[in-house]
Amino acid sequence: MKSTIRSNREMDEVLRAGARVSHPLVIALIRETPPGRGPEGRVAFVAGKKLGNAVKRNRSKRVLRAAVARAGGPWPGADVVFIARPTTATAPPGRLDEALGVVARRIGAH
């Protein structure tokens, strides 16, 4: 993964002002990259505590990172925050790729 959203301020901006795309396996919040920062897209992965213990949360983020890499992310011109759902960690890779395809079409990457 090349670019990751790292600061809390930037993450909050995407969460507050981003367009929401929901799928049974993942939620994505998408926002155009701010002017002056360049065209490079960035991503972030979130797995809340209600998903379970640290092992389950880390697995959810790991499988999301792999699916985003397979889908060609991060996408130019977009900051995307992926939020894991309870079914994310155990989903077959093909279904997760399908979910990311929905997100990629929404941001105009496919």
- AA identity, residue 82: F
Q: Quick check: is 1 in a domain? A: no
Identify the domain containing residue 53 by its residue range: 8-106
Q: What is the 3-state secondary structure (H, E, C) of 65-105?
A: HHHHHHHCCCCCCEEEEEEECCCCCCCCHHHHHHHHHHHHH
State pLDDT tens for residues 44-89. Answer: 999 999 999 999 999 999 999 999 999 888 888 889 999 999 999 9
pTM value > 0.85: yes
State pLDDT tens for residues 93-103. Answer: 999 999 888 87
The yes-or-no verdict on residue 90 having pLDDT over 80 is yes
SS3 24: coil
Q: Quick check: is 16 in a domain? A: yes
For a pLDDT cut of 70, what percent of the chain falls above it? 95
**Polymer length in residues for the chain:** 110
Q: Quick check: is 65 in a domain? A: yes
The yes-or-no verdict on residue 1 having pLDDT over 70 is no
Q: Quick check: is 67 in a domain? A: yes
Q: Quick check: is 102 in a domain? A: yes
- The count of domains in the chain is 1
Identify the CATH number of the domain in which residue 68 sits: 3.30.230.10
State pLDDT tens for residues 4-18. Answer: 888 889 899 998 998
